[in-house]
Amino acid sequence: MQIGIVGLPYSGKTTIFSTLLKHKTQEPGGKVSAERGVVKVPDERLDKLTAMFNPKRKVNATIEYIKVPGLEGESAGTRGLPGQFLANLKTVDALLVVVRNFQNEYYPHPLDRIDPKADIEYINSEFL
């Protein structure tokens, strides 16, 4: 399964990506390419079957997370994701949309306001 992580810059995508992959959180922003990470899905049923039948190998299901750089805000003069980033999202099974609902003076909101509902509408409009 592949899950694409999208959202505006400084919304928390890197924090969520790092938490899911159990990595140290990176400094947000500045990425120009998609980041990928794979997590094995724990499954007690598979563990029990492996213990019962002792197969040569055990293969857990996996989830691949694909974090694309933040959608550019209207203030940047452009809108949306370039084609190369949309290509990364074309094959995903699900989207995890990260919406910011916090104030931080070090990482200002790219649209100069905290309004989760408006952010959701903006992000949705980028995929139409």
- What pLDDT does residue 76 have? 52
Q: Where are the domains of the chain?
A: 2-126
Which residues of the chain are modeled with pLDDT < 70?
A: 24-31, 72-82, 84
Share of the chain above pLDDT 90, in %: 54
State the chain's mean pLDDT as an integer: 86
Question: In terms of C-beta density within 10 A (0-12 exposed, 13-18 middle, 19 or more buried), how is residue 3 classed?
Answer: middle
At 23 the pLDDT is 81
Residue ranges of alpha helices (H) inside the chain are 13-21, 44-53, 83-90, 116-126
